[in-house]
Amino acid sequence: NAGVTQTPKFQVLKTGQSMTLQCAQDMNHEYMSWYRQDPGMGLRLIHYSVGAGITDQGEVPNGYNVSRSTTEDFPLRLLSAAPSQTSVYFCASSSDLDTQYFGPGTRLTVL
Amino acid sequence: DQQVKQNSPSLSVQEGRISILNCDYTNSMFDYFLWYKKYPAEGPTFLISISSIKDKNEDGRFTVFLNKSAKHLSLHIVPSQPGDSAVYFCAASEMGGGSNYKLTFGKGTLLTVNP
């Protein structure tokens, strides 16, 4: 049982490049979420999903896309990276009767 | 507009003493509160939670107190240990709305426990 896994751990992009941050969970959780954490800030919700095929926006969704084709995976896409998206990204999953479990994070730098 | 506030960026205590971390919230719809602990280069890990129908919840050395009228909660760690040194995040959600997957976090408090 690996819990929540995220890849890559680190990534450096140039402005305008695109990339996908991967997130997978093996706990059969129906809910998955993406957060970003900036220095001196708490975690802020980007997008979330309540089940396969269902996603919705969180507090800071601009510049990010998500999709949920399976229960296990919830990738986060940056279509055109900007320096303001430099951050640490955390994926989390949960079920109705349980709290959120977080992955180890992806540290992204956009130059 | 911050809905969850942790006004102390840092706290330093001696090993064996009590650590008290505070959190205030403004959204009256919040009915479920959690504390997460985070070590550097790791994801947050769940520590303890409390529902708004309770005013206290204990788990070993950790106790969370909730004062709904003051919209205030606190985490007590007794006794504090050097391994407790980490950033502690307070978080809240509207569980009644079924949204335990949508957490609103405070900015965190860095706890340092000195040997």
| Residues of chain B contacting residue A4, judged by C-beta atoms under 8 Å apart | 43
- Beta-carbon separation of A42 and B45 below 8 A: no
Mean pLDDT for B66-74 is 97
For A47-100, how does the pLDDT look when each residue is reduced to its tens digit (9 = 90+)? 999 999 999 999 999 999 999 999 999 999 999 999 999 999 999 999 876 788
**Which string of b and e fits A1-36 if b means at least 16 CB within 10 Å?**
eeebebeeeebebeeeeeeebebbbeeebbbbbbbb
- Residue pair B49/A99 in contact by the 8 Å Cβ criterion: yes
- Residue pair A20/A76 in contact by the 8 Å Cβ criterion: yes
- Beta-carbon separation of A102 and B45 below 8 A: yes
- B43 part of contact set with chain A, CB < 8 Å: yes
**Is the per-residue pLDDT at B100 higher than 90?**
no
Distance CA B8, CA A100 (A): 24
| Residues of chain B contacting residue A66, judged by C-beta atoms under 8 Å apart | none
Distance CA A63, CA A52 (A): 22
Residue closest to B5 by CA, chosen among B31, B41, B33: B33
- A40 part of contact set with chain B, CB < 8 Å: yes
Q: What angle do CA B113, A99, B102 make, to 5 degrees?
A: 105
Mean pLDDT for A39-43 is 87
Distance CA B41, CA A86 (A): 16
pLDDT confidence of residue B86:
97
pLDDT confidence of residue B99:
64
Strands, sheet with B56-59, edge to edge from the N-terminal-most edge strand: B4-5, B19-25, B72-77, B62-67, B56-59
For B86-96, how does the pLDDT look when each residue is reduced to its tens digit (9 = 90+)? 999 999 998 76
- B34 part of contact set with chain A, CB < 8 Å: yes
Mean pLDDT for B4-18 is 96
- Beta-carbon separation of B100 and A31 below 8 A: yes
